[in-house]
Amino acid sequence: PPLPEIKDPAIRARVFIHKSIIKDKLFLSKREQLHSHNERLEFLGDSVLNNMMTQIAYHRFPDAAEGVLSVLRTKLISNATLMRWSSAYGLDKELKKNTPDETLNNGKMKLYADVFEAYIGGLMTENPANYTVVYDWLKQLAEPILKKNEPKKEQRSEFRPNAKMELYSLIGSASLGLHYDCIHRDTRSVPTTFIVELRTGAGDLLGTGQGENIKIAGTKAAMEALDNKELIEKYSILRANTPRDASKIPSHEMNKNGIS
């Protein structure tokens, strides 16, 4: 979709000024420095983006559970997604910074994601009535991601607190090496949310879950795996063909891998 325009030249210019440009301008007062770079705009844009993407996902999937919506929102506001959008509109090329590209490395993704948030902040600073314009724009940007990650019907089922042990009873074995790993912690949401992946020892992804703590997120990952009938059948057959002495997992290993 077309990029909404910031008509105020001063606000638009500030969107693309990184703090590194201002830090050596000692002739400016602290207040002048504060209003010369884009960090305040980024702060506002981050909040607006998080709120709008929450609403977009919420209304797009009226029957999806909270955990599923949280996973979708994380995809929509991730640095990788925002950097891609920033590059698509050429915002990254307009950013003025006093940091050599070769020193950025891993920080480059966040830098260009931040300028996308600053642009949203600029739109809202120029005119709070731009809310509808920004919402409709973000909704169009989000749609391909939402469509690609549309929740399965099974993902809307009720919470099953014993899902981990239920899954283990069906497919668990020492040779399979099931383990739960926390891959993301979203401190911007209230309460803080966690994303946990369930993988085999060979690295195959069996399920992903999100919750307000690691235990709930891991349980939801197990629930997703349980709802995948083809996966359960595949690993049940593997377990049936595994010698009994190679299939039993010691209790301390189950605790270590988050199974129990």
Name which residue leads in pLDDT, 164 or 20. 164
- Give me the active site residues, please: 46, 117
SS3 state at 128: helix
d(CA 76, CA 193): 15
DSSP state of 188: T
Question: Which amino acid is it at 28?
Answer: L
Q: What is the pLDDT of residues 27-85, one digit of tens each?
A: 666 666 656 688 999 999 999 999 999 999 989 987 787 778 888 999 999 999 999 99
| Whether pTM exceeds 0.75 | no
Residue 160 main-chain phi, psi, to 5 deg: -120, 95
Count of all residues that appear for the chain in the document: 260
Both structure tokens of 214: 């690691």
Domains and CATH numbers, the chain: 9-149 (1.10.1520.10), 162-246 (3.30.160.20)
Q: Tally the C-alpha atoms within 13 A of residue 153's C-alpha that lie toward its C-beta.
A: 0
- If you average pLDDT over residues 229-241, what whole number do you get? 86
d(CA 164, CA 95): 47
Q: What is the pLDDT of residues 98-110, one digit of tens each?
A: 776 655 555 678 8
